Amino acid sequence: MTDPKLLGPWVRRFLMEHLVSERNLALNTQRSYRDTLRLLLPFAATTAGKSIDRLEVLDLSSDRIRDFLLSLEGKRKCGVATRNQRLAAIHSLARFIGLHSPEHIQWCGELENIPVKKAPRPLVTYLEKNEMDALLAAPDQKTEQGRRDEVVLLFLYNTGARADEVAHVQVGDLSLGRSPRYEGSSTLIRGKGNKQRRCPLWSRTAAMLSEMVNGRGPMEHVFLNRRGQPLTRFGVHTLVERHAATVVKAIPSVAKKRVSPHTIRHTTATHLLRAGVDINTIRAWLGHVSLSTTNIYAEVDLEMKAQALAHCEIKNAKVKKPWRENAGLMAFLQAL
């Protein structure tokens, strides 16, 4: 019988049973949790003076976890968001062990009491309409790769999809209307946590996709690289960054922004909001679970309105004398 004090069997059960069978987490989340343990276990073994296979559950003390988090920020130069992401994985492991091993409930509580660190909210970077139009026009239409790149950029802007979501779209996910107008066209997007959503497609997007996937099977990926293999999320990132570099020459303002697939996602949301689309529709469009996540775009819109209001401010208006300095009024009040 496996010793319940040993950490190794719990880690295997956590990764193979809990994350996959019980919670059915997305593959990227599973890999993130795995990578956290690949960093944590050697650190714990070194500081405890044991081999990794002989580590016990209690060797992951709250003090040792805090030291590990400090090393992430100090030695590995990780940001606060990464530090909190690693801590979330540790919290999940502790809850799993505590749930199945009553003798470790106190230990679980001690680890769960380690708080996440407050991180500054990053600024939302998005492209203005002329910048986005320039990016869409950047690919060379005379080449096959350029035409594919244009479709990828247009699909990103149309759907607001993440790079990984774009990479996994299959031909069978597309529902394209009849030419020439392609009305009612849409695509299935598989998001985080295996959640699915339908996103409408513009006529231009649908027409270009129809031409690209003509004659291909429903299980094939829509976007392929030059070797005919499925485009990866890293390939999508590289594609966007390559064309953003060419846009800088024509529009210098783009140089001040880090343009990525997520920047285009922010751009989609911001432009939808400017067009009068309600925030809940945008939440569904982007596949956000919580409306609070989508509210960052409402805050961006408020900033834009504040800037517009500042341009309308009346300058050099005559300042009236404050009521506190109105001696006649003060004397009147004191006499009452």
- CA 233/CA 161 separation, integer angstroms: 11
Catalytic-residue membership of 118: no
Residue 118 lies in a domain: no
Are 135 and 92 part of one and the same domain? no
Are 136 and 192 part of one and the same domain? yes
Look at residue 1 and tell me whether its pLDDT is greater than 50.
no
86, 262, 266, 283: the active-site residue: 262
Look at residue 5 and tell me whether its pLDDT is greater than 70.
yes
Task: Report the amino acid identity of residue 9.
Answer: P
Are 306 and 269 part of one and the same domain? yes
Is 137 within 8 Å of 245 (Cβ atoms)? no
> What's the alpha-carbon Rg for the chain, to the nearest Å?
27
265, 266, 271, 283: the active-site residue: 265
Residue 40 lies in a domain: yes
Beta bridge partners of 188: 198
Residue 238 lies in a domain: yes
CATH number at residue 143: 1.10.443.10
Are 79 and 190 part of one and the same domain? no
Are 101 and 183 part of one and the same domain? no
**Which region, left, alpha or beta, applies to residue 148 given φ > 0 means left and ψ of -120 to 50 means alpha?**
alpha
- CA 207/CA 190 separation, integer angstroms: 22
Supply the pLDDT for residue 181.
Answer: 86
What backbone phi and psi angles, to 5 degrees, belong to 198?
-100, 135
Is 249 within 8 Å of 276 (Cβ atoms)? no
Q: Over range 267-291, report the average pLDDT.
A: 84
Are 148 and 295 part of one and the same domain? yes
Are 156 and 295 part of one and the same domain? yes
Are 282 and 238 part of one and the same domain? yes
Share of the chain above pLDDT 70, in %: 87
Are 139 and 43 part of one and the same domain? no
33, 126, 157, 297: the active-site residue: 297
Count of the separate structural domains present in the chain: 2
Domain span at residue 107 reads: 7-112
Catalytic-residue membership of 168: no
User: Mean pLDDT across the chain, nearest whole number?
Assistant: 88
Are 95 and 212 part of one and the same domain? no
How many CA atoms does the CB half-sphere of 262 hold within 13 Å? 9
Supply the pLDDT for residue 75.
Answer: 94
Look at residue 302 and tell me whether its pLDDT is greater than 80.
no
**The domain boundary residue, chosen from 112, 146, 173:** 112
Is 4 within 8 Å of 101 (Cβ atoms)? yes
Catalytic-residue membership of 265: yes
Are 62 and 134 part of one and the same domain? no
Are 106 and 147 part of one and the same domain? no
64, 192, 237, 257: the active-site residue: 192
Cα→Cα distances 253→132, 246, 261, Å: 12, 12, 18
* pTM recorded for the entire structure: 0.70
Catalytic-residue membership of 192: yes
Q: DSSP secondary-structure letter at 113?
A: T
Catalytic-residue membership of 262: yes
86, 148, 162, 266: the active-site residue: 162
Residue 273 lies in a domain: yes
Supply the pLDDT for residue 300.
Answer: 66
Catalytic-residue membership of 18: no
